[in-house]
Amino acid sequence: MAQSVVSVLQRPADSANQYLSIRSFIVSQSEILAALEDITQSKWSVSYVDADNLRQEGWRLLADGNPKQGIESIIRGALFQGRRDISVSQDALANTQLGLLTTNLRDYLESMDKSQ
């Protein structure tokens, strides 16, 4: 995100009065888990939740007068619905326009691990 802001500030004419969509990579939760287990050389404890059930529970909580937990469950259910790419198409990204490089999950996680 910081690189994107810097790039916009360095190239104001390239991004003036535009909505910009940017991303470094697209991954699933399973891919993130596999990469983290590989990098840390350890098996992680995982629990699975059905996104549809989570959303339904959220609506029930909301109807029962519990808006905080209800809305949280609805949002979590919507975010983790199993679709790999819920973002804009590669063609609609401003990465090239802003001179932003893409990376892959493995390189990103390894850089985070080294900074610890």
Most confident option among 18-22, 48-52, 61-65, 96-100? 61-65
pLDDT number for residue 35: 87
Q: Is residue 96 in some structural domain?
A: yes
Range of the domain at 113: 1-28+90-116
Q: Is residue 71 in some structural domain?
A: no
Q: Is residue 98 in some structural domain?
A: yes
CA distance 9 to 2: 11
pLDDT number for residue 44: 95
Q: Is residue 113 in some structural domain?
A: yes
**Mean pLDDT computed over every residue of the chain:** 85
Q: Is residue 103 in some structural domain?
A: yes
pLDDT number for residue 45: 94
Number of domains in the chain: 1
Q: Is residue 47 in some structural domain?
A: no
Mean of the pLDDT values across residues 22-46? Answer: 87
Q: Is residue 45 in some structural domain?
A: no
**Where is pLDDT greater, at 41 or 96?**
41
Q: In the structure, what pLDDT confidence band is assigned to residue 37 with cuts at 50, 70 and 90?
A: very high
Question: How much is the pTM?
Answer: 0.52
pLDDT number for residue 62: 96
Tell me the pLDDT tens digit for each residue of 40-91. Answer: 899 999 988 888 899 999 999 999 999 999 999 999 888 876 654 455 677 7
Q: Is residue 49 in some structural domain?
A: no
